[in-house]
Every structure is written in C-alpha cells, then in structure tokens.
Amino acid sequence: MPPRLNVTIKALRARKGMTQEQVAKKAKVTKFYVSQLETGLRKNPSLPVLRRLAKALGVPVTELLE
C-alpha cells in the first residue's frame, strides 16, 4: 500500500528543509491548506494544486501519488 498523500508531502517538505509557509508560497496556496493536507483533513487536492505542490517541492507529480 503506497503512503498517503499527507505523509508524502510532509516527508518531502522535511527532506527539502522547507516550512509549510515556504511550500504554500511557492505553490500559491495558503499555509492553512498545506497544513490541512499534511494532517489529512484535506485529502483530494485538484490536479492544478498537485502540480504546483510538486513544483514547489521539486518533484514530479507522480512522486506525490506513489
């Protein structure tokens, strides 16, 4: 079973040494939105948001979904 999106985003962010605020700014979403994704309160971001998150984290979209 692949890791959940929230675990993947949090791990990638930590590996890059980025704060939620930094990721949010680069992905053009709010820090609250990133926090909700990481805690699992928000589970299904749109494809455009996934693309922006992936770009902000420096990974392909597929890595967020693996």
For the chain, which residues make up each domain, given as ranges? Answer: 5-60
Name the architecture of domain 5-60. Orthogonal Bundle (1.10)
In Å, how far are 1, 2 from 39, measured between CA atoms?
19, 17
Q: pLDDT by residue for the chain (66 residues), tens digit each?
A: 346 899 999 999 999 999 999 999 999 999 999 999 999 899 889 999 999 999 999 999 999 988
For 8, the token pair is 């993947």
What's residue 1's pLDDT? 38
How far apart (Å, rounded) are the C-alpha atoms in residues 3 and 26?
23
Report yes or no: 64 and 53 within 8 Å, Cβ to Cβ: yes
